A = this chain, B = another copy of it.
């Protein structure tokens, strides 16, 4: 399957404003690109990329006083398959987890494992098997939180979402991640493109999406507590401990987002 994706984003600001952006496709998808992935800036200001320690592409730039627009449009190959599911086997003991996944058992800004520990164990302690536990968590979170854009706020954490019971896709992901970690299942936050491929068309403006990875049986698997069903055509942009590490743009100073359009569509090959 071929997917054409991209975005058009405009910022306005009064003074030169440094920014860190994670608006590229994740390097793990580089070999699927059918056209170069290039960030186009207007005006044409200097930019450059570096890799953070999660392996994400970070772009550094300074939005000039007045503002700037950033856009991107590319074609990428995709398997067209829905999210894979892990085998139905027991959960890996912590002692067998690889060294580099241990960090995804720890708490993080929006995933307060210390505060959710008892809740998680009381809900999911009796569920046996890694996959069964993860799916119980995803189900629980999917039904515990009511979706609504009006409930989004930048400092909302998993603990807040658990108590307030309302949120957006990022809050679904944070709560599910926190609970997986409490149960000693490594989990990490993902952000990227997710179009309406293989599902009925949705009458809402396209946005980037948030989901999460869990480490089960020696591999990472994708889950999505917002949609609670396997999906087709996720195009990963960034992953990390939580939304802190994967913010699409982080402005060091004030920059107003005045236009934000995302597109992700299946195209003919």
Contacts and interface: CB of A to CB of B under 8 A. Distances in A.
Interface residues of A, number: 49
A254 to B, nearest CB: 11
A269 interface: no
B35 A46 contact: yes
B106 A245 contact: yes
Given A18-B95, A106-B244, A244-B106, A48 B35 contact: no
Which 6 A-B pairs give the minimum distances between C-beta atoms? Answer: A30-B48, A18-B94, A114-B155, A50-B99, A94-B252, A18-B95
A20 B37 CA distance: 18
Nearest to A60: B99
Interface string A173-188: 0000000000010000
Interface string A9-24: 0000000001010000
Interface of A: 18, 20, 27, 30-31, 33-38, 41, 44, 46-53, 58, 60, 62, 93-96, 99-100, 102-103, 105-109, 111-112, 114-115, 154-155, 184, 244-245, 250, 252-253
16 contacts: A31-B48, A35-B46, A36-B41, A36-B47, A49-B49, A50-B99, A51-B51, A60-B95, A60-B99, A106-B245, A106-B250, A107-B109, A107-B244, A108-B244, A109-B109, A114-B155
